[in-house]
Chain A
């Protein structure tokens, strides 16, 4: 080394105190970690309990041993469910319903949000609020009139919708479309006005502005809305319980409790296994799209 410049990296002698962090900030962080840890334990205990129970035999579950420990681990619950045609049917129904519902939801809510956010027309603001209010009506209030409607529709047209898995394709969007539209309105509103003006001057139609500019730019928001729609339709319990009854039409959440609870006999091992397997698809989707989901949830919050 010929350089005469000596850089002494150990030069500062005072103790390093994490930059300029003040005492107040350190305590705030400690409290945050405390509550985050508490909350993490709180929300992770049930899945852990499910995992432990799913690895036990029925005999061990009912035995008075430590419920938090597996003494004789077995995969028999998993083998039993994954080789059962019934369980695979539930899984397939759930997958079909969720994928179709997500598709339908996005096909409706993205153009709707674009129109409500950007194409100023008479009553668009009122309509946007109306869309949100629709979401506030709980499903437990809607299922009776909906059931009646489908029954009457069946009487009149002879087209039977009740007890068919595809009736859920009509029902779920009443939950997903308003919320996804609302998310997308917020997201589209955060896109600068000049962007669509530039596109319009460049010669784009409204439809081209949506497909070539807004959808690519709003991708994080669209993914967030997609995840929401998927989660809602995958986890929906009340509607499928009401509208479907035959075992070949059931979706996973309803299927597990109707087929694995026989009278007062609870097949806990398989119930836990089924719930765990059922939770897997949303978990996998979250894991892959987590970054997008967070970006999507926060983007509408702050303009800019």
Chain B
């Protein structure tokens, strides 16, 4: 087991810079998820850690040793691929033991490790089957088993759940978390699914355009995003962004959304945003759960307004509502009994205690 460190790592393909100087410290036993849209450089970063891609610049360290020029087999890592990459001509047991057999481990040791891993992953009954006789979920378990038996310093997962259906994905997500709780191996996990990232990670690394946008725990990223990209990428449905500006009204600071809608800021927020120029073009960032139906006794900082709904989506435990404000489509979450209906009016409240204010030009959260 070991920590993984990336120092100013870059990757360039001819004239495309896929990874543009990444600094990342992954602690021993930590589960880190690299997340971002396709083409953001997350897979390339993982493959550089694995040694499957050369690095153009910078240093990669595993367990304190620089491994820039160390071949993959000597890095003591194990990797799980999106398409499983099981050896089709070998049985499950042979697939799992292949790495150990290449290193000439004693037969008894191989057998006990494979048995142990198979038990942990609940695939003991499948041990003599060929990959083609397995379902997608079972294949993914075997691929994980192949990684576990090696007992490596680092696990690398490259979008391992993308080929599974939604239900199985949730189940395997829990399996992966359980396995990590048992073996505690340092893990780097790549996905484009922010839900996977949030549920699995100790820390999430959000990447975009070959750079790291933000590193933090799932809660930090959700509640304190640093940029518009992170704010919009993490959370589903995504955060609403409403063009707005600040204005002074009777010695108090207001946030004006439209000609007709302006809200007074709660005192804590007013103090924080006091120094922002009043002419600055801003965005109000509000998560859907902070736009709800009006209640009888509003709390401080919760302001009401009327909206005409475009569409409603009943989800059972809640209803998602969509309406338009200054040309922007806004999503809110209301109680199923709030009386929301397509095309109907509804009195809504925004919880400004949980608002984010962003600079429209730079995308930075203020």
A200 on the interface (CB 8 Å rule)? Answer: yes
Is the Cβ of B87 less than 8 Å from the Cβ of A200?
no
Is the Cβ of A192 less than 8 Å from the Cβ of B103?
no
User: Distance (Å) between the CB of B149 and the closest chain A CB?
Assistant: 10
Residue of A192, A201, A208 contacting most chain B CB atoms (<10 Å): A201
Residues of A within 8 A of B89 (CB): 216-217, 219
Is the Cβ of B98 less than 8 Å from the Cβ of A194?
no
Is the Cβ of A197 less than 8 Å from the Cβ of B102?
no
Is the Cβ of B81 less than 8 Å from the Cβ of A200?
no
A200 to B82, CA, bound (A): 16
Residues of B within 8 A of A197 (CB): 50, 52, 72, 79, 81, 85
Chain B residue with Cβ nearest A194: B85
Residues of B within 8 A of A217 (CB): 87-89
Is the Cβ of A201 less than 8 Å from the Cβ of B87?
no
Is the Cβ of A202 less than 8 Å from the Cβ of B88?
no
Residues of B within 8 A of A95 (CB): none
A197 to B81, CA, bound (A): 9
**A 189-208 binary contact with B (CB < 8 Å = 1; else 0):** 00010110111111110001
Question: Which residues between 45 and 66 of chain B lie within 8 Å of chain A, taking CB atoms?
Answer: 50-52
Is the Cβ of B102 less than 8 Å from the Cβ of A203?
yes
Residue of A194, A198, A200 contacting most chain B CB atoms (<10 Å): A198
User: Which residue of B79, B88, B102 contacts A204 across the interface (Cβ within 8 Å)?
Assistant: B102
Residues of B within 8 A of A192 (CB): 83, 85
User: Distance (Å) between the CB of A171 and the closest chain B CB?
Assistant: 35
Interface range for B: 20 to 34
Residues of B within 8 A of A194 (CB): 81-83, 85
A contact residues, total (Cβ < 8 Å): 17
B77 on the interface (CB 8 Å rule)? Answer: yes
A219 to B89, CA, bound (A): 10
B73 on the interface (CB 8 Å rule)? Answer: yes
Is the Cβ of A195 less than 8 Å from the Cβ of B85?
yes
A213 on the interface (CB 8 Å rule)? Answer: yes
Is the Cβ of B78 less than 8 Å from the Cβ of A201?
yes
**A 171-202 binary contact with B (CB < 8 Å = 1; else 0):** 00000000000000000000010110111111
User: Which residue of A201, A208, A219 contacts B79 across the interface (Cβ within 8 Å)?
Assistant: A201
Is the Cβ of A195 less than 8 Å from the Cβ of B87?
yes
Question: Which residues between 98 and 120 of chain B lie within 8 Å of chain A, taking CB atoms?
Answer: 98-99, 102-103
A194 to B143, CA, bound (A): 12
Chain B residue with Cβ nearest A195: B85
Residues of A within 8 A of B72 (CB): 197, 200-201
Residues of B within 8 A of A216 (CB): 89
Is the Cβ of A202 less than 8 Å from the Cβ of B83?
no
Is the Cβ of B85 less than 8 Å from the Cβ of A202?
no
B146 on the interface (CB 8 Å rule)? Answer: yes
Is the Cβ of A201 less than 8 Å from the Cβ of B83?
no
User: Distance (Å) between the CB of B95 and the closest chain A CB?
Assistant: 9
Residues of B within 8 A of A204 (CB): 73, 98, 102
A202 to B98, CA, bound (A): 7
Chain A residue with Cβ nearest B47: A197
Chain A residue with Cβ nearest B78: A201
Is the Cβ of B73 less than 8 Å from the Cβ of A203?
yes
A203-B85 contact in complex given A197-B52, A197-B79, A198-B79, C-beta closer than 8 Å = no
Chain A residue with Cβ nearest B147: A201
Chain B residue with Cβ nearest A219: B89
Chain B residue with Cβ nearest A215: B89
A240 to B77, CA, bound (A): 55
Residues of A within 8 A of B78 (CB): 201
Chain B residue with Cβ nearest A216: B89
User: Distance (Å) between the CB of B156 and the closest chain A CB?
Assistant: 8
Chain A residue with Cβ nearest B156: A201
Is the Cβ of B52 less than 8 Å from the Cβ of A202?
no
Residues of B within 8 A of A200 (CB): 52, 71-73
User: Distance (Å) between the CB of A226 and the closest chain B CB?
Assistant: 18
Q: Which 9 pairs of residues, A with B, have the shortest CB-CB distance?
A: A194-B85, A202-B99, A203-B73, A198-B85, A216-B89, A194-B81, A203-B102, A201-B72, A201-B79
Beyond A192-B85, A194-B82, A201-B78, 17 extra complex contacts between A and B, CB < 8 Å:
A194-B81, A195-B85, A197-B79, A197-B81, A198-B81, A198-B86, A201-B73, A201-B99, A202-B73, A202-B98, A202-B99, A202-B150, A203-B102, A204-B98, A208-B102, A217-B87, A217-B89
A and B contact pairs by CB, cutoff 8 A, 28 listed? A192-B85, A194-B81, A195-B85, A197-B72, A197-B81, A198-B81, A198-B85, A198-B87, A198-B146, A200-B52, A200-B71, A200-B72, A201-B50, A201-B72, A201-B73, A201-B77, A201-B78, A201-B99, A202-B73, A202-B99, A202-B146, A203-B99, A203-B103, A204-B73, A216-B89, A217-B88, A217-B89, A219-B89
